[in-house]
Each structure stands twice: as C-alpha cells, then as structure tokens.
C-alpha cells in the first residue's frame, strides 16, 4: 500500500483534490489539533485561503469517560447526544459540571493556540474541516455538529486517510467529503504514514502564526472570487 510521507505531504496531496476552492474569498480551512493543523496548514497555503483552528472537547460520561454524551467546540457551541443522556439518566447538574470543566480546558487551549487573534467568522462561508485521519470519526462528527451551529454555507470534510465506512457515514452529514486513502482492512490512521510522530503544541502555534502572516501579506491567489 502506498503511504504518505508525513502530515505535510498529506496536506499537499489533499490540496490537489481541493483546487476548485483555491483563492476564493468565501473559503476558510479549519484544522483540528494537533495533527490536523499540520495537514490543514499545507491545504490553506496551497489554496491561498485563511486557516484557523477548530477545537473539539468530548463530554465524557462521569463514570465512563470514553463514552461521549456530547461535545463542546470553538465558538462556545455545545452538542448533546440526547439518547445517551436520556438512557443513562444524567442530570443537568452532572452535565453542567462536566461541560464547565471541559470548557475551561478548551478556552485555555484556544488562548494558547490563538494568542490575541480572534476566531474567523464562519457564517456564510465554505468551511473545509481538516484532520490527519478518521478512525471512528467521533471527534469529526462532533465538530460537524458544532460547526453547523455557526451556519456556514457549505461544509467540506477533508482527510488524508480514513476507514471507508466512517467516511461514507460522515459524507451523509456534510456537503462534500474527501478521504484520499481508505485502506482495507483499516487498522489505524498512523499506518498510512511513514512518519506519524506526535505534533507539539509549539508546532501548532507556529503554524497558525505563519498562516496569519501569509493571509495578512496576501497570497498570489488570495481575493479571487471563485464559483459560488
């Protein structure tokens, strides 16, 4: 099986499938930290469009933290799985306590990653949501649900590799999905890469700062209106 060199290589390859969005002033790329930001940086740079970070924090059930009862995301959006909440009899106080704790972590991460820059406006935009791969798709599903509350005009999910069933399921929830590689059997995201070393917070911060510099300086393609 052909493998991706690393996340940067993955981003450049992914950008090749997203060329129709190049230089459009209605398009934003969002990277899911940490590894997704590395991929997203290369996509945004190749397309000449702005990059921002989109953080999702899972709301785990108190006695089984891996079981998600919902999620919160950048922009203060909370999504609850009513089925899980109802079946487990979770109280509003329990939900509020977990949400408050995760909100504090999310806000700390946002300050760390963004510094003093404000989040990009997503309403009415074409938003390309990027991660470094999809296994169960739980975080991406939460991100999609949260993103819909920002009322973008179009949601595109773009990943270098993913489990084929997960890609198909998520594709029904968005306007477009691109999964470059869907190996069978799918074992783990990292197996699609030659180098899948951990991304540091410092790298995320550096890439977001570089992307802001590129956007403010203006790229050769920036500002061109694309087809709507």
Per-residue pLDDT tens for 156-199? 999 999 999 999 999 999 999 999 999 999 999 999 999 999 99
pLDDT at res. 65? 74
For the chain, the average pLDDT equals: 90
Q: Provide the 3-class DSSP secondary structure of residue 10.
A: helix
pLDDT at res. 220? 39
Q: What are phi and psi of 19, to 5 degrees?
A: -60, -25
Instruction: Single out the residue of 200, 184, 209, 166 nearest to residue 53, CA to CA.
Output: 209
Third-level CATH fold of 7-54+123-217: Rossmann fold (3.40.50)
Give the HSE-up count for residue 43: Cα atoms under 13 Å, Cβ half-sphere.
34
Strands (E), the chain: 27-31, 51-53, 56-61, 64-73, 77-80, 126-130, 154-161, 176-181
Q: How far apart are CA 201 and CA 90, in angstroms?
A: 34
Q: Provide the 3-class DSSP secondary structure of residue 85.
A: helix
CATH code that applies to domain 57-113? 3.30.1310.20
Beta strand 154-161 with 176-181 is parallel
Cβ(38)–Cβ(228) under 8 Å? no
Domain residue ranges in the chain: 7-54+123-217, 57-113
Cβ(22)–Cβ(50) under 8 Å? no
Confidence category of residue 58, pLDDT binned at 50, 70, 90: confident
pLDDT at res. 226? 40
Instruction: Count other Cβ atoms within 10 Å, centred on residue 157.
Output: 27
Q: How far apart are CA 123 and CA 227, in angstroms?
A: 18
Asked whether the predicted pLDDT for residue 6 surpasses 50, the reply is: yes
Name the token pair of 52. Answer: 């921002």
Confidence category of residue 81, pLDDT binned at 50, 70, 90: confident
Cβ(73)–Cβ(54) under 8 Å? yes
pLDDT in tens, 93-151: 999 999 999 999 999 999 999 888 888 999 999 999 999 999 888 889 889 988 998 99
Q: How far apart are CA 78 and CA 208, in angstroms?
A: 24
């Amino acid at each position: 099986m052909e493998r991706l060199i690393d996340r940067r290589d993955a981003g450049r390859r992914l950008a090749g499938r997203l060329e129709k969005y190049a230089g459009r002033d209605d398009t934003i790329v969002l990277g899911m930290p940490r590894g997704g930001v590395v991929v997203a940086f290369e996509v945004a740079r190749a397309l000449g469009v702005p990059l921002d970070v989109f953080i999702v924090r899972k709301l785990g059930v108190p006695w089984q933290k891996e079981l998600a009862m919902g999620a919160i995301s950048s922009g203060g959006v909370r999504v609850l799985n009513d089925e899980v909440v109802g079946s487990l009899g979770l109280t509003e106080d329990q939900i509020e306590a977990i949400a408050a704790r995760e909100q504090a972590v999310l806000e700390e991460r946002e300050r760390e990653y963004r510094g003093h820059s404000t989040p990009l406006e997503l309403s009415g935009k074409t938003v390309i949501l990027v991660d470094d791969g999809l296994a169960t798709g739980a975080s991406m599903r939460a991100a999609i649900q949260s993103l819909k509350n920002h009322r973008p005009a179009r949601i595109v999910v773009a990943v270098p590799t993913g489990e084929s069933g997960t890609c198909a399921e998520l594709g029904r929830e968005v306007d477009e999905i691109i999964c470059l590689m869907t190996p069978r059997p799918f074992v783990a995201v990292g197996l699609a890469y030659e180098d899948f070393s951990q991304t540091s917070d410092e790298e995320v911060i550096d890439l977001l700062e570089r992307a802001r510099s590129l956007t403010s300086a203006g790229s050769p393609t920036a500002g061109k209106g694309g087809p709507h």
